[in-house]
Amino acid sequence: MSRVHAKFRSLIADGDPHAATGDAGQDGHHDGPHVVPVWLLAGVLAILLALTVLTVAVTLVDLGPLNIFVALGIAVVKSAFVVLYFMHLRWDSPFNSVIFLSALLFIAIFLAFAMMDTSEYRPSVDAAVSTTR
Amino acid sequence: MSSISTNLGDPNDGHGHGHGGHAHSHNPFLAHHFDTPEQQFTTGKLGMWVFLGTELLMFGGLFCAYAVYRHNHPEVFMYAHTYLDKWWGAVNTVVLLVSSFTMAWGVRAAQLGQKGLLCVLLVLTLLGGAGFMVIKGIEYKAKWEHHLFPGRLNVYNKDYAGPEKPGEAHDTHGAAGVSHGAAAAQGHDHAHDTGVAGKPVVEHANLATGAEAAPRSEGAETAPQAPKPGEHAEVAAMAKPVDGPKIPVSFFDPNSLGAASDAAKIVPKSGGPAGLAASEAAHGHAAHMAYGDLPARDKVRVNTFFSIYFMMTGLHGVHVVVGMGLIAWILIKGATGIFGPSYYTPVDLVGLYWHLVDLIWIFLFPLLYLIH
């Protein structure tokens, strides 16, 4: 039985979420699992539910063209909480964050070019549609 | 977990000698090509994140379709989204968020080796997924009954040639149709241009429903949609649609269906929990836009909204079902007590998948249900 392993388990066994956050290994690379406390998860859930209520409530207020941006802004905040806490990215290897953010980056590039393209050609499409009618 | 970690006699344990006698090689869950369980776990998690990145890119294509179409046809979205019940959408958001919470807690329970708690939380998560799919099923069923499925199954599609004969459809929604006959008549002034090429006859019939909705709507803002009383009445056009429209008038306007008991689910202001619907009506948001208000070029494109809606929520729904299958799998595994501090990777990775499903819904909900 490895000394590292024994220490690793002893730290976790009592269920104290904070015990596992420190450096558990003698050799410095054995951190053990990071256990998120229940109160933190419940707090994140409460925030997510509150933001859901908020995003529905905002639709009852006419903000003109701002409505879509408010709704998406709330969605971004909600997803940030999900990703950072539920999906554990806050405590993960930064490399996972790099992967996640690069996926978002490429979606943004994809959307940006598609929107530029459709905006560019919209007048000619409209003209073509109106003449064929 | 000691039975796992102290499994010194594992016959498969032949890989440890290359690492200078580190005892971690005794872990039966450690594959031979990894040095430590830690390395194995982070590698698995890295792979999962790469997979989730590709999932995001796949949904990115649908979000792109949404963005382009909404950019070019904002009125279509304003009108068509009234067929979606935002209260069902909100309830489903809550259901999915709570199930994400129980999943995250489940990962914690697995890390701590709390077998019983893990099983309870996974069952709760499964119930959340099932509840989500049931509500989605209710919504889909209402869309099906109102011929709002993609392609030719959508009444807004100019090629719509569904099984519905005018008589049958009228019988199905007889209550709504009959009760609105008188009200609709006063506003039906478009029978004369039913022959315009390329336009579905639908729109002519539907202008009448804009009128019939007004008297029953609580919100004063619906009034402008109503054509002026006395405008070229054609009572017969309502009961027996001219030029053979395949669908009765009452079929298209969400507000006009309120009286039909089987149609309640699709009507934004009467669907969902009664109390919520009532509060919405009190806020005067009964109606947003009538079909007649759409620009002519958009009237033939309403069906595309439903194509986008079904592809986005459908692909998402497939992910929910897959996630439920995975949760059932780790529930069965977890019931044997296999998970603990030294081995909880499957729970963690399935949890990541489940949270991604939640993540996508967080964006689908405002984009599809909460268009203002």
Instruction: Say if residue B353 is in the same domain as residue B315.
Output: yes
The pLDDT tens digits of the residues spanning B251-287 come to 444 444 333 334 334 444 333 344 343 344 334 343 4
Mean pLDDT of B206-233: 39
Among A13, A92, A115, the residue with its CB nearest the CB of B67 is: A115
* Chain B, window 314-343: residues with a beta carbon less than 8 angstroms from a chain A beta carbon: 341-342
pLDDT, residue A126, reads 80
Domain membership flag for residue B323? yes
CATH of the domain at B124: 1.20.120.80
Among B8, B112, B351, the residue with its CB nearest the CB of A15 is: B112
Domain membership flag for residue B185? yes
Instruction: Say if residue B140 is in the same domain as residue B53.
Output: yes
The pLDDT tens digits of the residues spanning A32-73 come to 678 999 999 999 999 999 999 999 999 888 888 888 899 999
Domain membership flag for residue B365? yes
The pLDDT tens digits of the residues spanning A65-95 come to 888 899 999 999 999 999 999 999 999 989 9
Q: Residue type at B142?
A: A
* Residues B28, A31: Cα–Cα separation, whole Å: 20
Judge: B366–A83 Cβ closer than 8 Å, yes or no. Answer: no
ipTM of this predicted structure = 0.77
Choose the final residue of a domain: B280, B300, B320: B300
Chain A residues inside the 8 Å CB shell of B36 = 29-30
pLDDT, residue A63, reads 83
- On whether the CB atoms of residues B371 and B74 are closer than 8 A, the answer is no
pTM of the model: 0.67
Instruction: Say if residue B139 is in the same domain as residue B163.
Output: no
Instruction: Say if residue B112 is in the same domain as residue B229.
Output: no
Q: What is the mean pLDDT of chain B?
A: 69
Instruction: Say if residue B139 is in the same domain as residue B167.
Output: no
* Chain B, window 285-314: residues with a beta carbon less than 8 angstroms from a chain A beta carbon: 285, 297
* Residues A103, A108: Cα–Cα separation, whole Å: 9
Quote the domain boundaries for residue B273.
157-300
Chain B residues inside the 8 Å CB shell of A113 = none
The pLDDT tens digits of the residues spanning B284-315 come to 343 456 776 777 777 777 788 888 999 999 99
Domain membership flag for residue B52? yes
User: For an interface test with B, which of A52, A89, A125 has the most B Cβ atoms less than 10 Å from its Cβ?
Assistant: A52
Domain membership flag for residue B86? yes
Q: Residue type at B33?
A: H
Among B198, B359, B366, the residue with its CB nearest the CB of A83 is: B359
Domain membership flag for residue B273? yes
Instruction: Say if residue B325 is in the same domain as residue B231.
Output: no
Among B42, B93, B108, the residue with its CB nearest the CB of A35 is: B108
Give which of B94, B351, B132, B198 is closest to A33, Cα–Cα.
B351
A71 min Cα distance to partner chain B (Å)? 6
Instruction: Say if residue B205 is in the same domain as residue B293.
Output: yes
Q: Give the DSSP letter of residue B365.
A: I
Give the length of chain B. Answer: 372
Give which of B337, B31, B22, B45 is closest to A34, Cα–Cα.
B45
B289 min Cα distance to partner chain A (Å)? 14
Instruction: Say if residue B110 is in the same domain as residue B191.
Output: no
Choose the final residue of a domain: B266, B300, B334: B300
* Residues B67, B74: Cα–Cα separation, whole Å: 10
Instruction: Say if residue B274 is in the same domain as residue B315.
Output: no
* Residues B5, B123: Cα–Cα separation, whole Å: 28
